Homo-oligomer: A and B are copies of this chain.
């Protein structure tokens, strides 16, 4: 059925929705929430209207307009969609059967073409979580997810990459690691994500220093010139299925696709050597060393199957990395650090992970030492080159990065030592202050685990762009204890049982 387009600036989180007159829909046998193909190119979800949308007319949401580049009054052809085989394959997984390569390719293809709805996708994700994902399935998923997207075209024998499984706030390690690796002569085309609900993603942080939204060709040029880049992967169409899976996984707090997600993004940039950071600790995503070890072993063995040399670093994840959480605060801290004003845990983490990359690529027998040397001598220059090539000001100074002007500092009411820094409370505060939307909002942490605290020492400072957000965060802070100071550790041990925690050290 040919219908006349009426564009309307409606957004449902990127869902491809069209609104038809209900009689037109019925003529096609379509009901609200059924799916239809548009010009045989895109699958859309149907909403209906009895009057607002006239017969012969169709309203398209933003996403549909953008994907198909539609204009008002243009005619589009709407056809009901018949059954997809991938629905049956998902059912196989629900029923506990391992999926083969072809079944997975079909499912991923239909995900990318938007042929599967939220119910089907959720049933798939939930069953992957409950039934487990086998190594063969992971390999097929990675291949399918890479195949159904674009790839970065960089002609080098060795392409290095880094990824964190995430879950620890304030992790600006990438901003230190990429310049170190690029200054060693290795190629590292780093793509990153923006935050959805976490306080900041690497792309959000880097954006405070330079442009991160580059076209594929521009990225290839930047990497050709500087050996590295730090860009937003979102618009590049690298393993696009990943983002669609994450839209389901994220709100449900289920992540059976963790490994395929990460590996498909790496394969899409043709990475040959990858270091994966696994932050571990009771306050992190991965709780125990044995869990981290299992994940690391899987990464390494599946990486081998996929022709990637992968090494993992299990890092301490029980407090934020460095002293800041929030895009602008973190960009400032990273810039300060690379200029020699070190945040020690951040530096240690960055050179440890960079060291692994330098070793597995054969650049050095003692990677961590080399990484520290590069950080001291070459990384700042390299960072500024990358900033410039991506379109930013290479002379940027930390003080140029503005922070939210509404501020509140919490001071310690007692002396003692920091016994605990709560990742989750700091994330809640940062989000209440406006992160990730308000780039200049965030939390500064003055004292970290084990540090000595005197009475009236500042513990944390809250930054917000808007007064009411600062007020809301202050109110929440009253019921929180993001930084726990203990006067007398032994006395404390007697009055409060501390849950058993494995002590975790970085592997190298």
Contact = CB atoms under 8 A, between A and B. Distances in A.
A60 to B, nearest CB: 12
A129 B94 contact: yes
A12 B118 contact: no
A164 interface: no
A466 to B, nearest CB: 9
B122 A437 contact: no
Contacts of A47: 10-12
Contacts of A194: none
Contacts of A22: 11
A395 interface: no
A306 interface: no
A91 interface: yes
Identical copies of this chain, number: 2
A51 B62 CA distance: 12
A49 B11 contact: yes
A33 interface: yes
A455 B96 CA distance: 48
A19 B10 contact: yes
Contacts of A9: 49-52
Interface of chain A: mostly helix, strand, loop or mixed: mixed
Contacts of A11: 22, 32, 47-50
A423 interface: no
A8 B96 CA distance: 44
Contact of A119 (B32, B129, B252): B252
A381 interface: no
A115 interface: no
Contact of A12 (B32, B120, B437): B32
Contact of A127 (B26, B50, B91, B130): B130
A123 B126 contact: yes
A13 interface: yes
A64 to B, nearest CB: 13
A135 interface: no
A155 interface: no
Given A252-B119, A252-B120, A130 B49 contact: no
7 contacts: A12-B33, A14-B32, A29-B437, A94-B129, A118-B118, A120-B251, A120-B252
Interface of A: 8-15, 19, 22, 26, 29, 31-33, 47-52, 91, 94, 96, 117-120, 122-123, 125-127, 129-131, 248, 251-254, 437
Given A13-B32, A15-B32, A94-B130, 6 more contacts: A10-B48, A10-B52, A12-B32, A29-B437, A120-B251, A126-B127
